[in-house]
Structure 1
Amino acid sequence: MSNPATIYEVASRAGVSISTVSLAINHPSRVSAKTRAHVLQVADELGFVPKERAIARAKAGVGRIAMVAPFSSYPSFAERMAGALEALGQDGTQLVVFDHEDIATSDSPLLETLPVRGHVDGLIIMGIPLQDAAAERLATRLPTVLIDQKHPLLSSVWVDDFGGGQLVGARLVAGGHRRVVFVRETETSFLDDSPAQQRVDGLRSVLGADAVREITVSRTPSAGREVVDAYWRGDSDWVPTAAFAHRDLVALSVLGAAREAGLHVPSDVSVIGFDDDDAAAALDLSTVANPLRESGRQAIRLLRDLIAHPDTAPTQVELPLMFRARGSSGAAVQA
């Protein structure tokens, strides 16, 4: 059996200094993306794992898993993490949490280097789009499970966002709605099939393209006012009778702004969200219930299986969605 590659060999093959290799792996933001990608490619080719991590893995793993998500941008991910913690229980496994800057950010030095660092036994990535190069490295070097995203090389836990949009569309059609505005926040994702996009596509598949318009709002508390100003103040010639937001906090902002503007909910406008956060129930918001905690529990189950059996083929787990009818939705006034 050949000896494992050393950091000196990685540096020599890559044509860089040992310190550059160390920075690329342990402090990736301190080197350029081009240099980091080159060093990591060489590390992959040589199968390099830092010495202390290789020893730990040879014994019994390091007893630690990582979770990466845009926690500070989207509170719903904390609910998924709670489910993961429930599934971990008291078995002694440490959960290391990394806050990713934004759900729409695709270039992540952290996700590029985690498989090479070797300081965790497994990884859960929530809601972050992956480029193929990062997915390939994860698939070969670190047991990984995705939540709210899919990639053919990796196991994932997901919901049918297109089907969720269809659920909302069916309810709105039954309520007599013929003009609906879909409210989404600014995204810079390189993907064309983000959850928000899938939801509006599902909505259009039921109502028809001409019945649905979109508005992109800022990720601020005033997002709801932007919607009301665009469609219910002034002389808009297209007045929707319902607003469907891609997540509950945005829908609640629209709900508050509509009432502030003197609109009656739901007789003037119905408002619907997505996720079924605690605030949705408290404020009587109709929404699509997303099994957030269950997704965290399922991800831990899949990850444990992958850690125990690394050669297992990727597994895809789809969780069901359910419409929660509350006071913010109802029959529209026909126009």
Structure 2
Amino acid sequence: MSRMGRASVTIYDVADAAGVSISTVSNALNRPDRVREDTRRRVLQAAQSLGFTPKSEAVNQARKGVGRIGVIAPFVAYSSYMRRLAGLLEVLNKANLEVCTYDEESAASRTSLLLSRLPLGSRLDGLVVMGIPLDDEAAERLLAASLPTVLVDSEDARFSCVVSDNALSGRLVARHLLDAGHTRIGYLTEEHEVAAHPQQGVQRSQAFAAELAAAGHPLELQRVVSTAHSVDAARVAAGGLLADGSLTAVAAHDDTLAVGVLHAAAERGLRVPTDLAVTGCDDGDVAAAVGLTTIRQPFEESGRLAATTLLELMGAEHPTRRTTVLRQDLVVRGSTGAALPATV
């Protein structure tokens, strides 16, 4: 009877498929330095195609030396992740590691289809996931593969994380607008699927609302509007916010949405900042170009920290999870007409 007919795949099946002895399979999984590179790759490919799952210790040993790091992020949808990638590449290129990027459609998706399909095991040494909240299924898949993983712009106690102090950014913007005398303030946020948890956006908006409430000017529900992540969608959504002429300021989730607010204000003949103050978040190139008051985030630094954290995880015998929180800074420009930055 062929071994391939057995209920579970064994090391013998892998040896047959790879055309090697079982001792070679064992060495490829446990002592890869004793096996030629082409043989080791053939064994790993056979093991993956057969669905053979050795002990996690053997998987870790076999993976060493592949030299490939995966990076998942919504690169096309958000330019900020390209800046994070630049910082990450700065570190990983010096380590002579190959970087494979995978573009996720949006950070506001219900779940990550890429994470459910991504080839783990012998294909990658490590993984960086940027801006994508992990559901339990995706997290368990990564943990089961014993793949060193770092999350950026998303928090999960099961993984090492590099995050921004989003609550601080919300408070800074709210305090800045309050100090400038604004009490009738609107908020434009990014819409997302009900089951998704874009933590950075929630933390930022909740802290913003809490700061206003503490000052005695609670953010009214009708003054909070969500929109798709594009300038034109934001322009239309902001038009609804500005329709009754009651607002003197609008805070947007990020710079892209803030530019939409600026367009909506121009369409209504509102002068910025005399009639309407506008703020964003991220401080990308567009913010400086249009004179937008915004929150400066250390994107390149977060990428560098993610890379160094991942390298430490890959090299540690007993890796320790940790979370690094990066501070945010308010950058004041003409869209709010204030001379001094707020402090919290």
Same fold (TM over 0.5): yes
After the TM superposition, which residues 83-98 of structure 1 pair with which residues of structure 2 at under 5 Å, given as runs? 83-98=87-102
Q: 1:80 aligns with which of 66, 78, 84?
A: 84
1:227–1:148 CA distance, 2 compared to 1 (3 A): same
Task: Measure the CA separation in 1 of the matches of 2:261 and 2:235.
Answer: 7
Tell whether 2:196 aligns with 1:186. no
Mean alpha-carbon deviation: is it higher for 308-317 or for 93-102? 308-317
Q: Which amino acid aligns with 1:290?
A: Q
- 1:115 Cα deviation from its structure 2 partner: 6.5
Mean alpha-carbon deviation: is it higher for 221-230 or for 117-126? 221-230
Task: Measure the CA separation in 2 of the matches of 1:59 and 1:157.
Answer: 24
Task: Measure the CA separation in 2 of the matches of 1:111 and 1:211.
Answer: 36
8 Å Cα contact 1:125/1:145 also seen in 2 = yes
1:43–1:129 CA distance, 2 compared to 1 (3 A): farther
Task: Measure the CA separation in 1 of the matches of 2:330 and 2:184.
Answer: 20
* Deviation readout 1:104-163 (Å, 9 max, x if unpaired): 224334313546442010000000010123223323410000000010010000012122
Q: Which residue of 2 aligns with 1:152?
A: 157
Q: Which residue of 2 aligns with 1:33?
A: none
After the TM superposition, which residues 1-335 of structure 1 pair with which residues of structure 2 at under 5 Å, given as runs? 12-13=7-8, 46-47=53-54, 58=62, 60-114=64-118, 116-140=120-144, 141-188=146-193, 190-192=195-197, 194-208=199-213, 210-212=218-220, 213-233=223-243, 236=244, 239-309=246-316, 311-330=318-337
Q: Which amino acid aligns with 2:325?
A: E
Task: Measure the CA separation in 2 of the matches of 1:8 and 1:207.
Answer: 66
1:47–1:191 CA distance, 2 compared to 1 (3 A): farther
3-state SS, counterpart of residue 222 of structure 1: helix
8 Å Cα contact 1:159/1:319 also seen in 2 = yes
Q: Which residue of 1 aligns with 2:28?
A: none
1:312–1:279 CA distance, 2 compared to 1 (3 A): same
3-state SS, counterpart of residue 89 of structure 1: helix
8 Å Cα contact 2:74/2:106 also seen in 1 = yes
8 Å Cα contact 1:225/1:257 also seen in 2 = yes
Task: Measure the CA separation in 2 of the matches of 1:142 and 1:225.
Answer: 42
* Deviation readout 1:84-118 (Å, 9 max, x if unpaired): 11122333211100001221224334313546442
3-state SS, counterpart of residue 256 of structure 1: helix
Gaps of 5+ in 2: 14-47, 339-344
Using the size of structure 2 for normalisation, the TM-score is 0.77
Task: Measure the CA separation in 2 of the matches of 1:118 and 1:127.
Answer: 25
1:232–1:13 CA distance, 2 compared to 1 (3 A): same
Alignment RMSD: 2.9
Q: Which amino acid aligns with 1:223?
A: A
3-state SS, counterpart of residue 230 of structure 2: coil
State, as a whole percentage, how many aligned pairs show the same letter: 35
1:193–1:100 CA distance, 2 compared to 1 (3 A): closer
Task: Measure the CA separation in 2 of the matches of 1:8 and 1:295.
Answer: 47
In terms of Rg, which structure is larger? 2
3-state SS, counterpart of residue 186 of structure 2: strand
Task: Measure the CA separation in 2 of the matches of 1:8 and 1:110.
Answer: 30
3-state SS, counterpart of residue 96 of structure 1: strand
* Deviation readout 1:150-207 (Å, 9 max, x if unpaired): 1001000001212210111111110111121111122115245632221111111111
Task: Measure the CA separation in 2 of the matches of 1:73 and 1:135.
Answer: 23
3-state SS, counterpart of residue 312 of structure 1: coil
8 Å Cα contact 2:238/2:260 also seen in 1 = no
- 1:67 Cα deviation from its structure 2 partner: 0.2
Task: Measure the CA separation in 2 of the matches of 1:59 and 1:207.
Answer: 51
- 1:48 Cα deviation from its structure 2 partner: 7.3
1:129–1:59 CA distance, 2 compared to 1 (3 A): closer
Using the size of structure 1 for normalisation, the TM-score is 0.78
Task: Measure the CA separation in 2 of the matches of 1:95 and 1:316.
Answer: 23
8 Å Cα contact 2:70/2:102 also seen in 1 = yes
Q: Which residue of 2 aligns with 1:21?
A: none
Task: Measure the CA separation in 2 of the matches of 1:62 and 1:198.
Answer: 38
Gaps of 5+ in 1: 1-6, 19-39
